[in-house]
Amino acid sequence: MGTTADPLAVLGSLPGVAESVDSVRKAVDQVYGHRVMRRRSDEVSSEAALRGARGSAALSGADWALEEVRRRSDFSSDDESRAVGAALRLTAEAGQLLSVWRQSPLQALARLHLVAAGGTSPDETVGRPRQTGEKVEEPLLDVAEFPLPEAAEVVARLDGLADLLLSGSEAPALVVAAVVHGELLCLRPFGSYNGLVARAAQRVVLVGSGLDPKSICPAEVGHAELGRAGHLKALRGYASGTPDGMAAWISHCGQAVGLGVRESVAVCEALQRGAA
Protein backbone atom coordinates (compact mmCIF):
# COMPACT_ATOMS: atom_id res chain seq x y z
CA MET A 1 0.00 0.00 0.00
CA GLY A 2 2.93 2.30 -0.55
CA THR A 3 5.48 4.05 1.64
CA THR A 4 3.82 7.43 2.20
CA ALA A 5 2.76 8.63 5.63
CA ASP A 6 -0.86 7.93 4.79
CA PRO A 7 -1.12 4.91 2.48
CA LEU A 8 -4.88 4.69 3.01
CA ALA A 9 -5.27 8.19 1.61
CA VAL A 10 -3.27 7.08 -1.42
CA LEU A 11 -5.85 4.36 -2.03
CA GLY A 12 -8.54 7.00 -1.81
CA SER A 13 -6.96 8.79 -4.74
CA LEU A 14 -7.02 5.77 -7.07
CA PRO A 15 -9.04 6.11 -10.28
CA GLY A 16 -12.71 5.43 -9.68
CA VAL A 17 -12.47 5.39 -5.90
CA ALA A 18 -13.48 9.03 -5.42
CA GLU A 19 -16.59 8.38 -7.49
CA SER A 20 -17.47 5.37 -5.32
CA VAL A 21 -16.94 7.39 -2.16
CA ASP A 22 -19.16 10.19 -3.46
CA SER A 23 -21.88 7.77 -4.52
CA VAL A 24 -21.90 6.10 -1.10
CA ARG A 25 -22.02 9.44 0.70
CA LYS A 26 -25.03 10.56 -1.33
CA ALA A 27 -26.81 7.25 -0.77
CA VAL A 28 -26.22 7.39 3.00
CA ASP A 29 -27.46 10.97 3.13
CA GLN A 30 -30.61 9.82 1.36
CA VAL A 31 -31.59 7.29 3.98
CA TYR A 32 -30.59 9.50 6.90
CA GLY A 33 -32.74 12.25 5.45
CA HIS A 34 -35.82 10.04 5.21
CA ARG A 35 -38.70 11.39 7.29
CA VAL A 36 -39.13 8.02 9.07
CA MET A 37 -35.64 8.40 10.55
CA ARG A 38 -36.80 11.38 12.61
CA ARG A 39 -39.09 9.26 14.75
CA ARG A 40 -38.29 5.60 14.18
CA SER A 41 -34.55 5.34 13.64
CA ASP A 42 -34.24 2.65 16.32
CA GLU A 43 -36.65 0.42 14.40
CA VAL A 44 -34.72 0.96 11.19
CA SER A 45 -31.44 0.15 12.98
CA SER A 46 -32.87 -3.05 14.42
CA GLU A 47 -34.16 -4.19 11.06
CA ALA A 48 -30.89 -3.27 9.36
CA ALA A 49 -29.00 -5.34 11.95
CA LEU A 50 -31.19 -8.36 11.31
CA ARG A 51 -30.90 -8.08 7.54
CA GLY A 52 -27.17 -7.45 7.76
CA ALA A 53 -26.66 -10.56 9.87
CA ARG A 54 -28.69 -12.61 7.41
CA GLY A 55 -26.57 -11.33 4.54
CA SER A 56 -23.28 -12.02 6.31
CA ALA A 57 -24.38 -15.54 7.19
CA ALA A 58 -25.43 -16.14 3.58
CA LEU A 59 -21.89 -15.43 2.39
CA SER A 60 -20.65 -17.93 4.96
CA GLY A 61 -22.87 -20.64 3.51
CA ALA A 62 -26.04 -20.22 5.59
CA ASP A 63 -28.37 -18.58 3.08
CA TRP A 64 -31.57 -18.55 5.10
CA ALA A 65 -34.74 -16.63 4.34
CA LEU A 66 -35.11 -13.47 6.42
CA GLU A 67 -38.24 -14.73 8.13
CA GLU A 68 -36.43 -17.93 9.14
CA VAL A 69 -33.72 -15.86 10.80
CA ARG A 70 -36.38 -13.73 12.45
CA ARG A 71 -38.37 -16.60 13.95
CA ARG A 72 -35.57 -18.99 14.95
CA SER A 73 -34.41 -19.04 18.55
CA ASP A 74 -32.02 -22.02 18.56
CA PHE A 75 -28.79 -21.51 16.63
CA SER A 76 -26.76 -24.46 17.87
CA SER A 77 -28.05 -27.50 16.01
CA ASP A 78 -25.71 -27.54 12.98
CA ASP A 79 -23.03 -25.56 11.12
CA GLU A 80 -25.51 -23.35 9.28
CA SER A 81 -27.40 -22.54 12.46
CA ARG A 82 -24.17 -21.70 14.25
CA ALA A 83 -23.11 -19.41 11.41
CA VAL A 84 -26.41 -17.52 11.58
CA GLY A 85 -26.18 -17.29 15.36
CA ALA A 86 -22.62 -15.99 15.11
CA ALA A 87 -23.67 -13.36 12.57
CA LEU A 88 -26.48 -12.16 14.81
CA ARG A 89 -24.20 -11.92 17.84
CA LEU A 90 -21.53 -10.07 15.88
CA THR A 91 -23.99 -7.53 14.52
CA ALA A 92 -25.22 -6.83 18.04
CA GLU A 93 -21.67 -6.58 19.39
CA ALA A 94 -20.23 -4.33 16.69
CA GLY A 95 -21.84 -1.19 18.02
CA GLN A 96 -20.52 -1.86 21.52
CA LEU A 97 -16.88 -1.98 20.44
CA LEU A 98 -16.29 1.50 19.10
CA SER A 99 -14.22 2.76 22.04
CA VAL A 100 -12.18 -0.45 22.14
CA TRP A 101 -11.63 -0.31 18.37
CA ARG A 102 -10.29 3.25 18.57
CA GLN A 103 -7.80 2.30 21.27
CA SER A 104 -6.87 -1.25 20.26
CA PRO A 105 -8.19 -2.68 16.99
CA LEU A 106 -6.54 -6.03 17.71
CA GLN A 107 -8.30 -6.32 21.06
CA ALA A 108 -11.58 -5.53 19.32
CA LEU A 109 -10.94 -8.20 16.70
CA ALA A 110 -10.19 -10.73 19.42
CA ARG A 111 -13.48 -9.82 21.08
CA LEU A 112 -15.36 -10.20 17.79
CA HIS A 113 -13.98 -13.70 17.34
CA LEU A 114 -14.90 -14.65 20.90
CA VAL A 115 -18.44 -13.42 20.27
CA ALA A 116 -18.65 -15.27 16.97
CA ALA A 117 -17.48 -18.52 18.56
CA GLY A 118 -20.03 -18.07 21.31
CA GLY A 119 -17.98 -19.94 23.87
CA THR A 120 -18.33 -23.19 21.92
CA SER A 121 -14.61 -23.97 21.68
CA PRO A 122 -13.07 -25.96 24.53
CA ASP A 123 -9.53 -24.81 23.74
CA GLU A 124 -7.55 -21.59 23.75
CA THR A 125 -7.57 -20.95 20.00
CA VAL A 126 -10.61 -18.65 20.19
CA GLY A 127 -9.92 -14.94 20.37
CA ARG A 128 -6.28 -15.01 19.30
CA PRO A 129 -4.44 -15.20 15.96
CA ARG A 130 -3.84 -18.73 14.77
CA GLN A 131 -0.49 -20.34 15.37
CA THR A 132 1.65 -22.47 13.08
CA GLY A 133 -0.05 -25.71 12.18
CA GLU A 134 -3.52 -24.73 13.35
CA LYS A 135 -6.35 -25.36 10.91
CA VAL A 136 -8.62 -22.70 9.46
CA GLU A 137 -12.23 -23.19 8.49
CA GLU A 138 -13.53 -20.54 6.09
CA PRO A 139 -16.30 -21.67 3.71
CA LEU A 140 -16.04 -18.61 1.49
CA LEU A 141 -12.41 -18.98 0.44
CA ASP A 142 -10.63 -21.85 -1.29
CA VAL A 143 -7.06 -22.07 -0.02
CA ALA A 144 -5.96 -23.20 -3.48
CA GLU A 145 -6.95 -19.80 -4.82
CA PHE A 146 -6.33 -17.76 -1.66
CA PRO A 147 -3.37 -19.42 0.08
CA LEU A 148 -3.21 -19.03 3.84
CA PRO A 149 -0.41 -16.74 4.99
CA GLU A 150 1.94 -18.24 7.56
CA ALA A 151 1.23 -17.45 11.20
CA ALA A 152 4.19 -15.06 11.48
CA GLU A 153 2.99 -13.10 8.46
CA VAL A 154 -0.50 -12.91 9.94
CA VAL A 155 0.81 -11.35 13.14
CA ALA A 156 3.02 -8.89 11.26
CA ARG A 157 0.23 -7.78 8.94
CA LEU A 158 -2.26 -7.46 11.78
CA ASP A 159 0.21 -5.26 13.62
CA GLY A 160 0.69 -3.20 10.48
CA LEU A 161 -3.05 -2.82 10.01
CA ALA A 162 -3.49 -1.76 13.63
CA ASP A 163 -0.68 0.81 13.28
CA LEU A 164 -2.37 2.25 10.19
CA LEU A 165 -5.69 2.55 11.98
CA LEU A 166 -4.22 4.07 15.13
CA SER A 167 -2.05 6.58 13.26
CA GLY A 168 -5.13 8.21 11.80
CA SER A 169 -5.86 8.79 8.16
CA GLU A 170 -7.52 11.32 5.92
CA ALA A 171 -8.88 8.49 3.79
CA PRO A 172 -12.66 8.25 3.44
CA ALA A 173 -14.46 5.77 5.68
CA LEU A 174 -15.32 3.55 2.73
CA VAL A 175 -11.63 3.10 1.90
CA VAL A 176 -10.65 2.28 5.48
CA ALA A 177 -13.56 -0.15 5.88
CA ALA A 178 -12.73 -1.88 2.59
CA VAL A 179 -9.07 -2.31 3.56
CA VAL A 180 -9.97 -3.73 6.96
CA HIS A 181 -12.46 -6.11 5.37
CA GLY A 182 -10.10 -7.23 2.58
CA GLU A 183 -7.07 -7.64 4.81
CA LEU A 184 -8.92 -9.79 7.32
CA LEU A 185 -10.37 -11.99 4.59
CA CYS A 186 -6.96 -12.53 3.02
CA LEU A 187 -5.23 -13.18 6.35
CA ARG A 188 -7.92 -15.35 7.95
CA PRO A 189 -6.24 -14.73 11.31
CA PHE A 190 -8.55 -16.99 13.32
CA GLY A 191 -9.36 -20.66 13.12
CA SER A 192 -13.00 -20.00 12.29
CA TYR A 193 -15.58 -17.32 11.42
CA ASN A 194 -13.06 -15.08 9.63
CA GLY A 195 -15.52 -13.90 6.99
CA LEU A 196 -18.12 -13.03 9.62
CA VAL A 197 -15.52 -11.20 11.71
CA ALA A 198 -14.22 -9.30 8.66
CA ARG A 199 -17.70 -8.07 7.78
CA ALA A 200 -18.40 -7.12 11.40
CA ALA A 201 -15.13 -5.15 11.50
CA GLN A 202 -16.19 -3.35 8.33
CA ARG A 203 -19.42 -2.41 10.11
CA VAL A 204 -17.44 -1.09 13.11
CA VAL A 205 -15.40 1.16 10.83
CA LEU A 206 -18.43 2.52 8.97
CA VAL A 207 -20.23 3.28 12.23
CA GLY A 208 -17.22 4.62 14.10
CA SER A 209 -16.14 6.87 11.25
CA GLY A 210 -19.42 8.75 11.38
CA LEU A 211 -20.45 7.67 7.89
CA ASP A 212 -23.19 5.46 9.33
CA PRO A 213 -23.40 6.34 13.04
CA LYS A 214 -26.81 4.72 13.59
CA SER A 215 -25.75 1.51 11.78
CA ILE A 216 -28.63 1.60 9.32
CA CYS A 217 -26.70 0.86 6.12
CA PRO A 218 -26.05 -2.89 6.18
CA ALA A 219 -23.22 -3.47 3.72
CA GLU A 220 -23.55 -7.20 4.44
CA VAL A 221 -26.88 -7.14 2.59
CA GLY A 222 -25.14 -5.73 -0.44
CA HIS A 223 -22.27 -8.19 -0.30
CA ALA A 224 -24.76 -11.05 -0.25
CA GLU A 225 -26.77 -9.54 -3.09
CA LEU A 226 -23.66 -9.09 -5.23
CA GLY A 227 -23.01 -12.80 -4.71
CA ARG A 228 -20.09 -15.02 -3.87
CA ALA A 229 -18.66 -15.00 -7.38
CA GLY A 230 -18.56 -11.21 -7.51
CA HIS A 231 -17.20 -11.04 -3.97
CA LEU A 232 -14.35 -13.40 -4.78
CA LYS A 233 -13.55 -11.66 -8.05
CA ALA A 234 -13.22 -8.33 -6.24
CA LEU A 235 -11.20 -9.91 -3.42
CA ARG A 236 -8.72 -11.24 -5.98
CA GLY A 237 -8.13 -7.61 -6.88
CA TYR A 238 -7.40 -6.73 -3.28
CA ALA A 239 -5.12 -9.72 -2.87
CA SER A 240 -3.18 -8.71 -5.99
CA GLY A 241 -2.16 -5.44 -4.37
CA THR A 242 -2.24 -3.65 -7.72
CA PRO A 243 -3.82 -0.17 -7.96
CA ASP A 244 -6.53 -1.42 -10.32
CA GLY A 245 -7.24 -4.42 -8.12
CA MET A 246 -7.42 -2.36 -4.94
CA ALA A 247 -9.68 0.19 -6.62
CA ALA A 248 -11.98 -2.59 -7.84
CA TRP A 249 -12.27 -4.01 -4.31
CA ILE A 250 -13.03 -0.61 -2.79
CA SER A 251 -15.63 0.06 -5.47
CA HIS A 252 -17.16 -3.36 -4.83
CA CYS A 253 -17.46 -2.53 -1.14
CA GLY A 254 -19.02 0.80 -2.12
CA GLN A 255 -21.62 -1.03 -4.19
CA ALA A 256 -22.38 -3.24 -1.20
CA VAL A 257 -22.96 -0.23 1.06
CA GLY A 258 -25.17 1.32 -1.61
CA LEU A 259 -27.30 -1.81 -1.80
CA GLY A 260 -27.51 -1.88 1.99
CA VAL A 261 -28.77 1.69 1.89
CA ARG A 262 -31.39 0.69 -0.67
CA GLU A 263 -32.55 -2.05 1.69
CA SER A 264 -32.97 0.40 4.56
CA VAL A 265 -34.77 2.92 2.37
CA ALA A 266 -37.25 0.14 1.59
CA VAL A 267 -37.62 -0.50 5.33
CA CYS A 268 -38.30 3.20 5.88
CA GLU A 269 -40.92 3.17 3.14
CA ALA A 270 -42.57 0.11 4.64
CA LEU A 271 -42.67 1.72 8.07
CA GLN A 272 -44.15 4.85 6.59
CA ARG A 273 -46.91 2.80 5.01
CA GLY A 274 -47.42 0.89 8.24
CA ALA A 275 -46.47 -2.35 6.52
CA ALA A 276 -43.43 -3.29 8.60
Confidence (pTM):
0.94
| pLDDT, tens digit, 9 for 90 and up, residues 173-199 | 999 999 999 999 999 999 999 999 999
| pLDDT, tens digit, 9 for 90 and up, residues 101-123 | 999 999 999 999 999 998 655 56
According to the model, what pLDDT value does residue 2 have?
41
Phi, psi angle pair for 209, to nearest 5° = -75, -15
205-219: b (≥16 Cβ within 10 Å) or e: bbbbbebbebbbbbb
| pLDDT, tens digit, 9 for 90 and up, residues 34-74 | 999 999 999 999 999 999 999 999 999 999 999 999 999 88
| pLDDT, tens digit, 9 for 90 and up, residues 225-244 | 999 999 999 999 999 999 99
Cβ neighbours of 118 (radius 10 Å): 16
